[in-house]
Amino acid sequence: MISDLLQNKTAKERANIKATEIAKLNFAKYTDDRTGITVEIKDGKINAIEGGIELYARAWQGVNQLGFGKDGTTEWERFIFQNPRILIDDPSGTIIKEWTDEDGVLKQRKLKEDPLEATKLTLAHTIKVSSKEGTEIIKGSTGNTTSTFYPDPDVETTSVDGLVRRSLGEPGEGFGTIHNGAGTEAFPSGTVSGGASIRTSAGTNPNYIFFGRVVMLFDTSSIPDTDTISSATMSVASENKTATFGVASATVVLSNPASNTNLVASDFNIANWTMTAQNTTDITIANWAANGTYNDFALNATGIGNISKTAITKFGITTDKDRDNSEPTWSADKHDKFAEIEADDVGSTDPKLVVVHSEAAVAGGYPPTLLFMNAG
C-alpha cells in the first residue's frame, strides 16, 4: 500500500512517493462512469515529476471529441497533478471517517486506496468542466493551460476549507439579526462540512436558529502573473443535503478569514464577507447533487477577476438568502443545508478550483499545461 510508505514523511516526500508509485501503473483508454467522458492518455504513460505526475490526454463525450483552450480548438492537453490523490469512496473501504452532524447524528464515510481510479476520476471531472464540445479541433495540437487547485488537507500549510456558523438555541432570533450577528462556531477540519445552511426555529415567531457559511481557500499563486484567465469553475462534492425549507440556493461569494490556514467563529461575521455573486448560476437545494457527486459553479467575470495570481484565492459558499440578506417566507422548524465533502480526506472528490488561462510563450515551444495544485 502506498499509504504505508507515507508514514513519518514530510509533505514533499509524501508527494514524491505517491508520484513514483502512480507512474508504475498502467493507464489505458477508459470511459468514466460519472461523467460519460472517454479519456485517452497518450501512450498510456504517466511520468513522475518533482512533487507530482505528468501526462498528456485527449477526450470524447460520446462520439464527439472535446476541445481544450479558450476557443476549444486544442486536441491534446498536458496534465500535471501536484501531490496527486490516491483515495476513492467505496462502501466496502477500510478507511473509515466518522463525524457527528449538527443534529447529533453519527455519520460515516468509507474510502479505500486506489491510485489508478483516483487519477482517472479526478482527470475526467476536470476535463468535464474545462473542455468544449462541438468546436473545430486542430488535429495533433497541444496547447492551453488549465490549472486545478485544492484546499490543503489538515494540517494546512497555505489554504483552509471548512464551516463557520452562528448557531443558537430556541427561540432563535430575527433574520437580520442572525445575518449580521457574531459567529459562534468554526469547523476548519473534518470529513464533511455542515455546509451553507439556513434553519428556522420551532416556535411561532419568524425566528432563525442558525446560518452556516462555508470558507473555501485555494493557493493559486502558481498562475503566471502575465496570464489571462478565460474561465474558471469551483466544484464541491456533496455527501448529503437537507431540504425541508426548499427556499434556498447555494451561491459562491468572497470570504476573508483572519487566517489562511485556520478558522475561528468570528470568521462568520459579515464584515469578513463580500456578498456579491461570484458564479453565473446558483444551484437550488432541489438540484444539489448528493452522494459524492460534484456540484459545479461556473464563475462569472467578477469571480474570475477575484482569482489571485500571487497569493490565496478566497471564495466561500452561502445560501442565496444569506448573500442577498433577503428573508424568505417563514415556516416553523425548516432547514436547508448544502453539505459538502472537505479536503481533509485527500480523496478524489475534494473541493477544487479549475482555472483556464493563457500561458506566456516559452522558448523551445514548451507546451502549456493542465495543473493540479495542492492536491492533498
In a domain, 141, yes or no: yes
Q: What integer is the mean pLDDT of 173-196?
A: 89
Could you tell me if 172 and 119 lie in one domain?
A: no
Q: What is the pTM of this model?
A: 0.89
Tell me: the pLDDT tens digits for 260-306?
A: 999 999 999 999 999 999 999 999 999 999 778 999 999 999 999 99
**pLDDT for the residue numbered 183:** 97
C-beta of residue 236 within 8 angstroms of C-beta of residue 351: yes
**pLDDT for the residue numbered 233:** 96
Could you tell me if 340 and 359 lie in one domain?
A: no
pLDDT beyond 70 at 375: no
Could you tell me if 212 and 188 lie in one domain?
A: yes
Which residue's C-alpha cell is 484567465? 229
SS3 label, residue 132: strand
Which residue's C-alpha cell is 460515516? 108
Range of the domain at 188: 161-344
Low-confidence winner among 90-94, 290-294, 327-331 (lowest mean pLDDT): 290-294
Could you tell me if 340 and 358 lie in one domain?
A: no
**pLDDT for the residue numbered 376:** 47
In a domain, 201, yes or no: yes
Cell for 81?
497533478
Q: What span, in angstroms and rounded, lies between the C-alpha atoms of 160 and 168?
A: 25
Could you tell me if 206 and 327 lie in one domain?
A: yes
In a domain, 272, yes or no: yes
Helices (H), 217-312: 301-305
Cell for 107?
455519520
In a domain, 101, yes or no: no
Evaluate the CA torsion angle 297, 303, 306, 308 in order and state its sign: positive
**pLDDT for the residue numbered 368:** 47
DSSP sequence for 323-347: HHT-PPPP-TT-EEEEE-B-GGG-B
| Band of residue 340 on the pLDDT scale cut at 50, 70, 90 | confident
Could you tell me if 296 and 203 lie in one domain?
A: yes
pLDDT beyond 70 at 359: no
In a domain, 103, yes or no: no
In a domain, 137, yes or no: yes
Cis-peptide, bond into residue 368, ω within 30° of zero:
no
| Highest mean predicted confidence (pLDDT) among 71-85, 192-206, 261-275 | 261-275
Per the prediction, the chain carries an average pLDDT of: 89
Could you tell me if 131 and 171 lie in one domain?
A: no
Number of domains in the chain: 2
Q: What integer is the mean pLDDT of 107-114?
A: 87
The percent of the chain in helix, strand and coil, each rounded to the nearest 5, is: 15, 40, 45
C-beta of residue 91 within 8 angstroms of C-beta of residue 110: yes
Could you tell me if 315 and 369 lie in one domain?
A: no
**pLDDT for the residue numbered 106:** 78
Q: Between the CA atoms of 164, 169, 174 and 180, what dihedral angle is there, to the nearest 10 degrees?
A: -30
Low-confidence winner among 206-220, 244-258, 351-365 (lowest mean pLDDT): 351-365
In a domain, 52, yes or no: yes
Could you tell me if 190 and 55 lie in one domain?
A: no
Backbone angles phi, psi at 125, to 5 degrees: -70, -40
**pLDDT for the residue numbered 349:** 87
Could you tell me if 83 and 202 lie in one domain?
A: no
Could you tell me if 176 and 57 lie in one domain?
A: no
| Band of residue 103 on the pLDDT scale cut at 50, 70, 90 | low
pLDDT beyond 70 at 28: yes
Could you tell me if 320 and 259 lie in one domain?
A: yes
Burial class (CB in 10 A: 0-12, 13-18, 19+), 17: middle
**pLDDT for the residue numbered 362:** 47
In a domain, 102, yes or no: no
**What would you report as the CA-atom Rg of the chain, rounded to the nearest whole angstrom?**
21
